[in-house]
Structures are given as structure tokens and as C-alpha cells.
């Protein structure tokens, strides 16, 4: 049977939600129908995972990287264009902001038959300088003109795209993230023993990259505010990134060395979540925060910033609290309320664990994505 040649692009296979979702999607596709390639940067903690997926051919780019570099970005575009032409790629599906723009431009120049992009949060946000934000919106508009489908992980991102006149409404499709619910909700206190945290100490955690988007400085400041009322409360931050030196400095300045633990990159997220009493996420912008979805699956009450599609997975006042980004006063009020009220924590956690209104399974995500491919292939064949 003839296979469709499908190329995925993502800027870097770091240990993040978009990257894990992409690999989960690839693993779930029918390899008898698709000949699958993945084009990505040379480095990344998930690169080994990608290389281990049966039937996937990984291409490591010499030029594709996250920082803006006009020369390298142009060379990456040429590199992708030549790969598409040489391998007669029929579908290009881009993920992440930078690969989404460069990859779609290359696919458009190569006259690829079918082009898709998944928005894991838009390339523009309210915290960028005005001119930079406008440039990214302009680039998204250009790419949207020749993108056959724009897949979003939240209704929030669909509305945001349409407000900024990116693509027509009929191009958008909503496909929610998928997680394996059987991995979460385990009972495992070994992390507390590893960190020498007493069983009766309350433990608050966040799982995120240490980069400006996630505002991890606010997590440390929140720990300081909470510890003034509840000095025995401990905090853990799982993740790493460019802001780690600043986070370490802030912990020392606020004298929180015995209260805040930096775990670095971790692959045992279900185990980490099982040790927590409360989950916190201080992001400034998001698409759909998969960490909050995993926390809910672990029966944890959450205190999260009101960004992206967070209200599509967290019910404010029922499964957790949703507060404005950077509002540390409100963040600390809600966190301290949960820390002081065990029954409230348990009630919210039980509610969070209940089956969601939407199907957030990895199998469902792969099936719906494959359906979109098949619809576009059939439409192309009837032209």
C-alpha cells in the first residue's frame, strides 16, 4: 500500500508539553499509512525518545534553534525546503512557534500539497514589545493564508487567532492534548524521603521550564509569602532552563534554602505529583497547560494563573483557583487558604480527578489528527 510521506517539524525536543505531545502523537499514528519524518534541532532531552519510536526517521538540523538568528533561520528554511523536495514530502505538520513559521514558509515555497500547524500557544503574547508582537502576528497571518488546517489545543487560542485575523474560521480544528490517565493518581511518597521532607509537612509544587513564560520567580516569591504564615511548608520546582541562576539567587536572597527545592529536569512527573498536597502554576501565557491537566489527574487542587485555555480544564472554586498572572497577593491568599483547610484540599482534589467533559486521551488525540490528514488527502485526490 502506498504510504503518505509526512514531515513533522518542531524547534527543539526539550522536556516540555508540546514536545511530549508531538512524540505521543507520532507514536499513535498508523505506520502502515504514513512514512514519517521528524525535523528538529540537534539538541534536546527528548531526542533519544524520538529516536526510539519505531518507524520514525529523525533529521537533526544544524541551523534550527530557538533564538532568532537571521542567518541561521534562513539556512534552516533552505535546509527544510531541500529536504521536502528531495523526499517528495506530501504533508508538512509544524509544531512550536519558530518551526511553525520557518517550516510553513519552506513548505509553501516547495509547493507541498497539505500544510498544517498546531498552535501550542501563539508566537505572540501580551508581554512582548509592541513591534515584536506585531511582527509575529504579521508572520502568522502570512503563514495562515497557505495553511490548510490550524489545529489548536484550546478554544482560547482559536478565538485569539481569529481576533488577530489569522486564517479563516473553517481552517481551525480543536484537538485537545492527550495524557495517559493510568500513569497518574499513584501513591508514592518516596520523593519526600529523598528530599527528607516529613510526612506531615505540606508540600507545594510546580512543574515547568525555568523560562520567562512560566515566571518561576513568582513561584519562589509565593513560597516566601506563604512561609510567613506557615513556615513548615515546603516547595519543589521540577524543571530547568535559562532562569535557573536567577532562581537560585532569589532563593538565597529570601533565605529559602530549607524551604524550596530545585529538582532540575525530571522524567518521573507522576511520582513528583503524587508527593504534593497542592499544585501551582505561575505562567504568564499558555496554550493549554498540560502540567495543570496532569495535576488534576493526580487528584491535586491547583492554584494557577488565568492564561490560555486554563479555564477549559480547571473550574475556579471547584477543582482549584484561577487568579490573574503576577497577582502574588491573590495567589498567596488562595494558596494559604488551601494550606490551612485540609478538607477543602481533599474535596477539590477529588473533584479534579473526576472524568473531564472532554476526552484528553493520547489515543483520542492521535485518532482525530489522523482523521484530519485523511480528510485532506481525500479532498486533494478529488481535485
Measured CA angle at 341 (ends 338, 181), to 5 deg: 60
What's the pLDDT score for residue 185?
81
Query: What fold does the segment set 181-353 form as a domain?
Result: Rossmann fold (3.40.50)
State the Cα–Cα distance between residues 222 and 8, nearest whole angstrom. 39
Please state the pTM of the whole predicted model.
Answer: 0.93
State the Cα–Cα distance between residues 15 and 44, nearest whole angstrom. 7
Find out whether 122 and 343 touch, Cβ atoms under 8 Å: no
State the Cα–Cα distance between residues 82 and 246, nearest whole angstrom. 41
- Reference 16, options 260, 154, 214; nearest CA is 214
Helix 130-145 / helix 97-109 crossing angle, nearest 10 deg:
40
What's the pLDDT score for residue 356?
64
The helix (run of H) or strand (run of E) holding residue 97 is helix 97-109
**Residue range 321-375, pLDDT digits in tens:** 999 999 999 999 999 999 999 999 999 999 998 766 666 788 889 999 999 999 9
Task: Report the SS3 class of residue 329.
Answer: helix
Say whether 181-353 and 4-178+361-381 share the same fold. Answer: yes
Give the start-to-end residue ranges of the domains of the chain.
4-178+361-381, 181-353
Superfamily of domain 4-178+361-381: Glycogen Phosphorylase B; (3.40.50.2000)
The better pLDDT of the pair 43, 108 is held by: 108
**Residue range 47-79, pLDDT digits in tens:** 999 999 999 999 999 999 988 899 999 999 999
What's the pLDDT score for residue 213?
94
Task: Report the SS3 class of residue 135.
Answer: helix
State the Cα–Cα distance between residues 64 and 238, nearest whole angstrom. 26
Whole-number percent of the chain with pLDDT over 70: 98
Find out whether 71 and 40 touch, Cβ atoms under 8 Å: no
How sure is the predictor about 383, in pLDDT bands with cuts at 50, 70 and 90? low
Listed in order, strand segments (DSSP E) in the chain are: 4-9, 34-41, 56-61, 91-95, 114-119, 149-152, 172-174, 203-207, 234-238, 260-264, 278-281, 302-305, 320-323
> End-to-end distance of the chain based on CA atoms, in angstroms?
21
Question: Alpha-carbon torsion 183, 187, 193, 197, what sign?
Answer: positive
Amino acid at each position: 500500500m502506498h504510504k503518505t510521506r509526512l514531515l513533522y517539524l518542531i524547534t527543539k525536543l526539550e522536556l516540555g508539553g508540546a514536545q511530549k505531545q508531538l512524540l505521543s502523537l507520532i507514536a499513535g499514528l498508523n505506520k502502515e499509512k504514513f512514512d514519517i519524518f521528524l525535523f528538529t534541532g540537534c539538541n534536546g532531552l527528548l531526542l533519544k525518545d524520538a529516536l526510539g519510536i519505531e518507524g520514525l526517521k529523525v533529521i537533526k538540523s544544524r541551523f534550527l534553534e530557538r533564538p532568532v538568528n537571521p542567518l541561521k533561520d534562513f539556512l534552516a528554511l533552505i535546509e527544510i525546503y531541500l529536504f521536502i523536495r528531495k523526499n517528495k514530502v506530501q504533508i508538512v505538520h509544524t509544531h512550536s512557534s519558530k518551526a511553525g513559521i520557518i517550516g510553513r514558509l519552506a513548505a509553501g515555497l516547495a509547493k507541498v500539497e497539505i500544510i498544517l500547524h498546531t498552535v501550542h500557544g501563539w508566537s505572540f503574547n501580551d508581554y512582548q514589545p509592541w513591534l515584536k508582537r506585531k511582527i509575529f502576528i504579521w508572520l502568522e497571518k502570512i503563514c495562515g493564508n497557505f495553511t490548510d488546517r490550524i489545529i489548536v489545543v484550546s478554544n482560547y487560542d482559536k478565538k485569539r487567532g481569529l481576533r488577530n485575523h489569522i486564517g479563516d474560521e473553517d481552517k481551525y480544528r480543536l484537538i485537545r492534548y492527550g495524557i495517559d490517565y493510568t500513569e497518574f493518581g499513584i501513591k508514592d511518597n518516596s520523593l519526600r524521603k529523598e528530599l527528607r521532607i516529613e510526612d506531615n509537612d505540606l508540600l507545594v509544587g510546580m512543574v515547568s521550564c525555568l523560562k520567562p513564560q512560566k515566571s518561576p520567580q513568582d513561584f519562589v516569591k509565593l513560597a516566601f509569602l506563604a512561609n510567613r504564615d506557615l513556615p513548615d511548608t515546603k516547595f519543589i520546582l521540577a524543571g530547568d532552563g535559562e532562569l535557573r541562576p536567577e532562581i537560585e539567587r532569589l532563593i538565597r536572597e529570601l533565605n529559602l534554602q530549607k524551604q524550596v527545592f530545585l529538582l532540575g529536569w525530571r522524567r518521573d512527573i507522576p511520582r513528583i505529583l503524587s508527593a504534593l498536597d497542592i499544585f501551582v502554576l505561575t505562567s504568564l501565557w499558555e496554550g493549554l497547560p498540560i502540567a495543570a491537566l496532569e495535576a488534576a489527574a493526580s487528584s491535586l487542587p491547583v492554584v494557577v494563573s488565568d492564561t490560555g485555555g486554563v479555564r477549559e480544564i480547571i473550574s475556579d472554586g471547584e477543582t482549584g483557583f484561577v487568579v490573574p498572572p503576577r497577582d502574588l497577593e491573590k495567589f498567596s491568599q488562595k494558596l494559604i487558604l488551601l494550606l490551612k483547610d485540609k478538607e477543602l484540599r481533599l474535596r477539590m482534589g477529588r473533584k479534579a480527578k473526576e472524568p473531564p467533559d472532554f476526552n484528553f486521551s493520547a489515543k483520542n488525540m492521535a485518532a482525530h489528527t489522523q482523521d484530519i490528514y485523511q480528510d485532506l488527502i481525500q479532498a486533494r485526490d478529488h481535485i
